[in-house]
Amino acid sequence: MKAIVTVMLKNGVLDPQGKAIGHALGTLGFAGVGEVRVGKRIELELAETDPAAARKAAEEMGRRLLANLVIESFTVEIV
């Protein structure tokens, strides 16, 4: 079973990489792009066959290792 963990900076946390990308997009002529935020996507192949147990495991991984909960939040999707 595959779990996708998406980690993003919390609202209010400065995202210099997102700012740089937003600026570069404007320089390249892409008008109308608002705020850009950058995160990370982590795909986990889990041996678990029960979706609820897989979600629980992936959420625990997110809390304990994959996200810095002081400045980041995360979501888990089971596919």
Residue 34, domain CATH: 3.30.1280.10
DSSP state for residue 62 in the 8-state scheme: I
pLDDT band at residue 4 under the 50/70/90 scheme:
very high
Looking up tokens 């892409």 gives 30
Cα separation, 58 vs 71, in Å, equals 19
For the entire predicted model, the pTM comes to 0.91
Distance of alpha carbon 5 from alpha carbon 25, whole angstroms: 26
Instruction: Supply the range of the domain harboring residue 65.
Output: 2-78
Total of domains in the chain? 1
pLDDT in tens, 23-61: 999 999 999 999 999 999 999 999 999 999 999 999 999
Residue 38's contacts (CB-CB under 8 Å, 6 or more residues apart) are 9, 15, 17, 18, 21
72 band by pLDDT with thresholds 50, 70 and 90: very high
pLDDT of residue 19: 97
**Amino acid identity, residue 64?**
R
